[in-house]
Structure 1
Amino acid sequence: MRGRKTFRERPGRAVFALVAACAMGAVAAPFAVAGASSQPAARPAADGGPGDLLLPTPEAPRISDGPYAGFQLCGGPAGDPVVTSGSPTLAATLEAVAPPGTVESGGPGPRRKVVFEVDTAAGEPVSHKQLTSDTSHDAAYQLPDGTLADGAYRWRVRGKDGATESAWTAWCPFTVRRG
């Protein structure tokens, strides 16, 4: 009795289908690349999403009266931070570039370029500083003495790696009250 052959006895159709699918993908790929390259060139930005482990937005922006004083978190339940120094320290936590579950080397980690911006509450620029963080995990910038008078300000930070930039943190409003 002659019956139908099973997949294992007759693999020709499956092989043909696989080869055809690969050929169609090879033909479609150049069109996808051409479509992507026709977009205007923009500066690459990292959004910190699941597929982007390089430059997530810095976290936990905080401000302090100085390098040895305690920090106040931006957007905390206590309201906007108040500092009593004209040269507060601004800080944020940076993510390491190693994917989750991997171990970074025991030596010093990769240093990160970090950009800090400070404006008045009305949006007038006060300070724009790019520096290199001493570690791959944290960044801090102490404003030079006398930079800020009493009043309301805001600041934000982002990381950079070559032409790639993270998103800015949200603005952190704070008040300087020295007297």
Structure 2
Amino acid sequence: MRLFDKTPGTWSRVAVALAAAVVVGAVAAPLSTADPKPEGSQAAAGGAPDRLLATPEVPRVSDGSYSGFQFCGIPDSPPQVTTDRPSLAATLESVAPPGSVEPPEDAARSGRKVVFEVTEADGRPVLTENTRTEASHTAVYQIPEAKLSSGDYRWRVRVQDGPAISQWTAWCDFSVRLAD
């Protein structure tokens, strides 16, 4: 088929192809000029300046694996759980800017290191747990049995991927109310 063939339907196919090219260009142009450093991202401490590791977001607490999560940071309404084994979770963001290439040694590393820190409301340490997550967007930790009793606590989390380390999340206050 020649581009300027005069058979019926040829011009409509050419018009559709041109319109599609214009739409793709209009969508791609803003993306190609977007800032590769998302707002709120911190340069990794001790890492290369082109490696970013955003602070985990949306900290939340749950009574357990099959319960819904309560979000942290709601004024005058901290999460409340009825178990001594609550689950803590946060959303992880991208480790490197779009288009960057990870060094070959990164391929051998298994997941990201995630550090959960739990204290009593007054700051007395309860536990610090280093875990690994294979999940690309979520870190979850269930507190072991008998570590918490009824009372007020707070927790925070940060993530490390190779030399890149995020900032800690804000403290997430929560209460444990166990049945007597």
Gaps of 5+ in 2: 1-39, 44-48, 101-109
Tell me the TM-score normalised to structure 2 length.
0.64
**Corresponding residue of 2:87:** 89
Contact 2:42–2:55 under 8 Å retained in 1: no
Query: Quick one: percent identity of the two aligned structures?
Result: 55
**For the residues of structure 2 that align with 1:134 and 1:49, how far apart are their CA atoms?**
22
Distance in 1 between the 2:118 and 2:147 partners? 10
1:119 is paired with a residue of what secondary structure? strand
Which one-letter code corresponds to 1:61 in the other structure?
P
- Give yes or no for contact 2:71–2:79 (8 Å, CA) kept in 1: yes
Cα distance in 2 between the residues matched to 1:78 and 1:72: 13
CA distance in 2, matches of 1:49, 1:168: 11
Instruction: Trace 1:134-153 onto structure 2 (pairs within 5 A).
Output: 134-153=134-153
Q: Judging changes above 3 Å, is the alpha-carbon distance between structure 1 residues 71 and 78 closer, same or farther for their aligned structure 2 residues?
A: farther
- For 1:53-87, what per-residue CA distance to the aligned partner results, in whole angstroms no more than 9, with x for missing partners? 63100000000000110000001256100000100
For the 8 Å contact 2:156–2:170, the answer to whether it is kept is yes
1:128 matched to 2:121? no
Shift of 1:136: 1.6
- Residues 84 and 145 in structure 2, CA contact (< 8 A), matched pair in contact too: yes
Tell me how far apart the structure 2 counterparts of residues 135 and 149 of structure 1 sit (CA, whole Å).
30
What RMSD over aligned residues (CA atoms) do the two structures have, in Å?
2.5
- Residue 48 (structure 1) aligns with: 41
Structure 1 CA distance, aligned partners of 2:64 and 2:169? 21
